[in-house]
């Protein structure tokens, strides 16, 4: 297993070296173009993924707030994404995360590799390879499938020890989430030897002022919102953005941040409608933080999407009398698993006008790589 992992890392490093030799400049204006017209330049990418969040989950948030405006309503453009994996019409987070991160399809259960187990390079790895700061903020373990797809390459998603080894060598500027049980000991020591500050308590975020930093705030996943997680996700997102922006200014480069609302999916698997609502609302607050950041930092593109939908959530009326103006809805689930439902993409900020329509999740990744100037030539 270790020999195969080394081979995967060599393949990734070769890919990054070839890309770096392409001559692309860090200061090159990053523009998304369509039909010969120039769009807004893109310097920073904030990529927010609601794990398990389909249109029904977004709709439920709006309905249950009596249609009060949400961050999703601020979107300047909307698209739809097909989520299938290489070997199944219903994807899992490993395959979908890989598609969204790298632009390549893979089989369910595989992270950062093709179906033949050959490594593929993610948008975050490309950015890091060009000297740009990058970060991840999640409410799951940092080694979980979706975040892992942005830095790791393993044929088996549950190989958390190997994923942790690759996290240590990822070059990320900022990483906040859970998963301490898989890094305690030698991994923490190696991070510290590389100059990382390693956190294990959320309150340490309040006084954090320098990078690189990794925070592991739970042995595995963080508590759910209903279990008292509080405002960790939006606050950690805000802290990560401040740190990345400062480091990006120092390097005179843009940055990439991936934020995952990890536990929308977990509550969907449990068919807990109130849990899904709480996690979606928490994620929406993080989307608002990202959009506010884009307002004050020109050149920032905010992309909000999902890896897949979980639970087959529907919102039927709880009253058979459809003529009553105040008839409510009664959330219902059709499965305890994932579905093949297309998922939304909400776009805001620089270049938002250039992504629209129905596309495969791999195409979305390709467009974002083009936006950042890190696509293969």
User: Which residues are the active-site residues?
Assistant: 93
Closest CA to 302 of 95, 109, 102, 49: 49
104 in helix, strand or coil? coil
**158 among annotated binding-site residues:** no
> What would the two tokens of residue 321 be?
């009398």
Ligand-binding annotation for 146, yes or no, is: yes
260 assigned ligand-binding residue: yes
Question: Which tokens go with 335?
Answer: 């499965």
The two three-digit tokens of residue 54, written as one number: 């389909």
* DSSP state letter for 113: B
The residue to which tokens 């890989």 are assigned? 98
Q: Is 295 annotated as a binding residue?
A: no
Q: Are strands 256-261 and 213-216 parallel, antiparallel or unpaired?
A: unpaired
Name the residue among 48, 68, 149 with its Cα closest to residue 106. 149
Q: Terminus-to-terminus CA distance in the chain, angstroms?
A: 32
* Chain position carrying tokens 């994404």: 81
Residue that is written with structure tokens 């993610």 in the block: 122
376 annotated ligand-binding residue? no
Burial class of residue 124 in the structure, from the number of CB atoms within 10 Å of its CB (0-12 exposed, 13-18 middle, 19+ buried): buried
Q: 329 has which bridge partners?
A: 317
Question: Is 197 assigned a ligand-binding role in the annotation?
Answer: no
The β-bridge partners of 49 are 260, 305
Determine if residue 336 is labeled as part of a ligand binding site: no
Q: What is the DSSP code string of 212-232?
A: SEEEE-SSSSPPPTTTT-TTH
Does the annotation list 265 as a binding residue?
yes
**8 and 121 Cβ atoms separated by less than 8 Å:** no
Annotated binding site for Mg(2+): 51, 144, 146, 260
Annotated binding site for Zn(2+): 51, 265, 269, 307-308
Annotated binding site: 51, 144, 146, 260, 265, 269, 307-308
């Amino acid at each position: 297993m270790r020999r195969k992992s080394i081979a995967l890392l060599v393949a990734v490093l070769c890919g990054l070296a070839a890309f770096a030799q392409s001559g692309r400049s860090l200061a090159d204006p990053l523009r998304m173009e369509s039909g010969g017209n120039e769009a807004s330049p893109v310097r920073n990418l904030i990529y927010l993924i609601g794990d398990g969040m389909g249109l029904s989950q977004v709709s439920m948030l709006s309905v249950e707030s009596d249609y009060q405006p949400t961050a999703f309503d601020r979107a300047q453009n909307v698209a739809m994404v097909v989520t299938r994996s290489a070997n199944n019409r219903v994807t899992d987070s490993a395959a979908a995360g890989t598609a969204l991160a790298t632009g390549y399809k893979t089989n369910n259960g595989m992270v950062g590799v093709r179906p033949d187990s050959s490594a593929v390079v993610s948008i975050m790895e490309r950015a890091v390879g060009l000297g740009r700061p990058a970060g991840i903020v999640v409410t799951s373990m940092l080694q979980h499938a979706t975040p892992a797809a942005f830095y790791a390459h393993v044929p088996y998603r549950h190989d958390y020890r190997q994923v942790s080894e690759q996290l240590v060598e990822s070059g990320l500027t900022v990483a906040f989430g859970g998963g301490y049980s898989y890094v305690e000991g030698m991994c923490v020591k190696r991070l510290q030897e590389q100059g990382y500050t390693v956190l294990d308590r959320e309150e340490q975020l309040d006084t954090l002022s320098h990078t690189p930093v990794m925070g592991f705030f739970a042995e595995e996943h963080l508590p759910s919102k209903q279990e008292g997680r509080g405002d960790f996700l939006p606050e950690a997102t805000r802290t990560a953005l401040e740190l990345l922006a400062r480091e990006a200014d120092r390097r005179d480069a843009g940055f990439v941040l991936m934020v995952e609302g990890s536990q929308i999916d977990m509550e969907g698997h449990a068919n807990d409608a109130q849990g899904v609502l709480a996690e979606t609302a928490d994620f929406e607050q993080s989307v608002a933080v990202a959009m506010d950041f884009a307002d004050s930092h020109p050149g920032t593109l905010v992309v909000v999407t999902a890896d897949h939908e979980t639970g087959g959530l529907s919102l039927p009326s709880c009253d058979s009398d459809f003529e009553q103006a105040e008839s409510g809805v009664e959330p219902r689930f059709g499965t305890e698993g994932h579905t093949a439902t297309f998922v939304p993409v909400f776009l805001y900020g620089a270049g938002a006008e250039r992504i629209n329509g129905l596309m495969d999740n791999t195409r979305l990744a390709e467009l974002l790589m083009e936006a950042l100037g890190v696509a293969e030539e």
